[in-house]
Amino acid sequence: MRDLTDSIESVEQLATVWRVMVLDRDPQADVRDLPGIAVRWADCRFAFWNCVTLTEPGTTSGLLKQRLDEAAEVMRAKKHPGFLWVFEDLLDDEARAGLGDAAERAGLVHAFAGTGMAGDLLPLPEPTHPELTFLRVTTDDQLRAFADINSRAYGFPLEDGRDGLGRSSLWKSQVYAYLGVRADGTPVTCAATVEADGRLFVLLVATDPAWERRGYGEAVTRKALHEGGRATGLARATLHATAAGAPVYPRIGFEANSPMRFFALAEG
């Protein structure tokens, strides 16, 4: 039988961090813990803040069908689109094999893949990069730049990222959010960490597509981890990586746990 300790930690970290982020965006947001489902839905234009996830270890194929139908119903009631996050290790073998078909029957389509990761890797040394200066996000302009880099990296309109982060005081105070800035003053990469249940959670790592494959994303992630670890004294860090970003994090010390699939509502 698989050891699900790290996978359960991963889904619990999502539920914990997204509660804070979603309520920061909108104190009246839909934040509920239903049987087998965590709803963290700001109903804003930034799709990552509109999240539903399945939470039960050992989910069978029959229960999976029920939970997917329930999750899709929650999503259909919203104004703005978002994602259902499924941690595959929480499903039994039969449910995992049939996930794609079951999601399709529930009116969901696969959006992209990812993986949970964690590691007892802190403290990290002070990072450097020959082409970057690191700035902590403390102003509205810096936060807008952070949002814009994420929007460009994930293919969202700029206004979507700004809608998700632009009103936040939390991100300018309690989140260890950093920009990587080139010598001409252009912000090109970003990453953030935040304390969550005795761990340092990494989120919204992104690099402007025009400046990829220069080691920028790894460098700014190391900076956010270094500063967050130094401020909190924590040893363990967690994150959720897209398939594109996943190869970076083992170089820092992260180990993969549960594969993840992200689903959106089918159109029509």
Domain boundaries, the chain: 5-115+259-265, 133-234
Query: Half-sphere exposure of residue 261, counting CA atoms within 13 Å on the CB side?
Result: 17
Give the pLDDT band of residue 3 (cuts 50, 70, 90).
confident
Please state the rounded mean pLDDT for residues 107-114: 97
Name the DSSP class of 266: P
Residue 194, token pair as written in the block? 């935040």
**Is the separation of the CB atoms in 55 and 15 below 8 Å?**
yes
pLDDT single digits (tens) 154-199: 999 999 999 999 989 999 999 999 999 999 999 999 999 999 999 9
Distance from C-alpha of 158 to C-alpha of 18, rounded to nearest angstrom: 21
Q: Is the pLDDT of residue 261 over 90?
A: yes
* Closest by Cα among 203, 188, 178, 184 to 149: 188
Residue 2 pLDDT: 64
What percentage of the chain carries pLDDT values higher than 90? 97
Distance separating the N- and C-terminal Cα atoms of the chain:
40
Q: How many CA atoms lie within 13 A of 105 on its CB side?
A: 13
How many CA atoms lie less than 13 Å away from 218 in the CB half-sphere?
15
The β-bridge partners of 265 are 108
- pLDDT, position 244: 86
Q: What is the pTM of this model?
A: 0.95
Q: Is the peptide bond before 125 cis (omega within 30 degrees of 0)?
A: no
Query: What is the rounded distance in angstroms from the CA atom of residue 72 to the CA atom of residue 102?
Result: 12
Looking at CATH, the fold of the domain delimited by 133-234 is given as: Aminopeptidase (3.40.630)
Write out pLDDT tens, residues 192-248.
Answer: 999 999 999 999 999 999 999 999 999 999 999 999 999 999 999 999 999 888 999
